[in-house]
Amino acid sequence: MPVTIIRRLLQSLLVLFVMSLLVFAGVYAIGNPVDILVSPQADQAEIARATAALGLDRPLAAQYWVFLRQAAAGDLGRSFAFNVPAIQLILERMPATLELAIAAMLIAVVLGIPLGLWAGLAPDSIAGRTIMTGSILGFSLPTFWVGLMLIMVFSVWLGWLPSSGRGPTLELLGVPVSFLSREGLAHLLLPAANLALFKLALVIRLTRAGTREALLQDYVRYARAKGLSETRVVGVHVLKNILIPVVTVVGLEFGSLIAFAVVTESVFSWPGMGKLLIESINMLDRPVIVAYLCIVVTLFTVINLAVDLAYSLLDPRVRLSDAAT
């Protein structure tokens, strides 16, 4: 077990190292930042001075070392566009993205598990088939286009829900959130539903497959033979056993919700990290791009590591297969 942990830790460190190399190569080594920073009328001496001041005359390895040291200290440069530390800009936008991702996950689970159960209990009924067709659509529909259609139907035609922004935010433990006010909730609903769609389809499929498998098991047959009510058989015996894989996958997929929030945030002008990334790419605001990539990749590496470790602690079979390879 300690070997697994050490190996996974080393692997995570390697990922972060490779990512830092990529970011360094892409942002610092390709193209010359001096061209952007110095005025076009500058002469050779001025350019040389600026280059020296930025440390760009030193060998690449030395520059990379400086970049790493500053990054480790949380200094990823100042945003060209806003002239504040890039990392601060990202962290300010993070609560909005997290709120959106959590809301989407809640929708996917709260709707997905009952629908999946229904489809699993009655796979050949009209309802069961409709749910499964819907989940295939959920996989095939391009997220951004669904977002546009949601805006068209609910904002433009029906006028029920706002189409953009976060609405008024209230402070919860010092973090601004939307869901506490009625208006904020109305702003949250469409983007969260849009982001949830893909995960909803996934949860439905997982729950349905798990239900169908569980119904064939001996313990369900015995529970029925004991004369338990159908509600109890499904609610306790089936549901409890299918929740394990569903919860695991939901945990794993949370990171990808943050990545896919880029699309939903752009469609609904939701002021999160993803929208900031797209704006920064369009404005060539390199420090912000670097900060986003560093934070999100680190976040991902930590989530993956935590899930892997928790899994190998909880499920002995994972450890066995790991020892075999």
Partner 1 sequence: MTREQAPLHPFRRIASDFAESRIALAGLALLGLIMAVALLAPLISPQNPYDLAQLDILDSRLPPLAQSDGGKTYWLGTDDQGRDMLSGIFYGLRISVAVGVASTLAALAIGLGFGLLAAYFGGWVDTLVMRIVDIQLSFPSILIALILLALLGQGLDKIIVALVAVQWAYYARTVRGAALVERRKEYMEAAAGLALSHARIVFRHLLPNCLPPLIVVATVQVAAAIALEATLSFLGLGLPITEPSLGLLIANGYTYMLSGKYWISFYPGVALLATIVSINLVADQLRDVLNPRLQK
Rounded CA-CA distance 275/11 in Å is 30
3-state secondary structure of 77: coil
Among 260, 268, 273, 287, the residue binding partner 1 under the rule CB under 8 A is 260
Q: Which CB atom, from 228 or from 299, has the smaller least distance to partner 1?
A: 299
The minimum distance between CB 4 and partner 1, in angstroms, equals 14
- Does position 22 interact with partner 1 (CB under 8 A)? The reply is yes
The minimum distance between CB 105 and partner 1, in angstroms, equals 15
Q: Which of 177, 175, 154 is nearest to 164 (CA)?
A: 154
3-state secondary structure of 297: helix
- Does position 259 interact with partner 1 (CB under 8 A)? The reply is yes
Rounded CA-CA distance 250/236 in Å is 20
Total residues contacting partner 1 (rule CB under 8 A)?
Answer: 44
DSSP code of residue 174: T
Q: Which CB atom, from 30 or from 73, has the smaller least distance to partner 1?
A: 30
Among 30, 72, 73, 225, the residue binding partner 1 under the rule CB under 8 A is 30
Q: Which CB atom, from 9 or from 14, has the smaller least distance to partner 1?
A: 14
Q: How many residues does the chain have?
A: 325
Residue in the structure block whose two tokens are 């010359």: 32
Rounded CA-CA distance 221/223 in Å is 5
Q: Which CB atom, from 53 or from 302, has the smaller least distance to partner 1?
A: 302
Q: Which residues contact 209 (CB under 8 A, 6 or more apart)?
A: 120
First to last CA, the chain: 14
Binding span for partner 1 by CB under 8 A among 20-28, 91-99, 172-180, 215-223: 20-28
Q: Which CB atom, from 63 or from 155, has the smaller least distance to partner 1?
A: 155
Binding to partner 1 (CB under 8 A) within 109-148 occurs at 136-137, 139-145, 148
Q: Which CB atom, from 125 or from 269, has the smaller least distance to partner 1?
A: 269
**Contacts with partner 1, 265-304, as mask; x by CB under 8 A:** -xx---------xx--xx------x---x--xx--x---x
Rounded CA-CA distance 79/318 in Å is 44
Q: Which residues contact 281 (CB under 8 A, 6 or more apart)?
A: 289
Among 107, 151, 246, 291, the residue binding partner 1 under the rule CB under 8 A is 151
Q: State phi, psi for 176 to the nearest 5 degrees.
A: -70, 125
- Chain-centre distance for alpha carbon 204: 19
The minimum distance between CB 140 and partner 1, in angstroms, equals 5
Query: Residue 246 to residues 36, 105, 134, 174, 219: CA-CA distances in angstroms?
Result: 49, 12, 19, 32, 20
Binding to partner 1 (CB under 8 A) within 156-175 occurs at 156-157, 163
Contacting positions for partner 1 (CB under 8 A):
11, 14-15, 22-23, 25-27, 30, 136-137, 139-145, 148-149, 151-152, 155-157, 163, 255-256, 259-260, 262-263, 266-267, 277-278, 281-282, 289, 293, 296-297, 300, 304
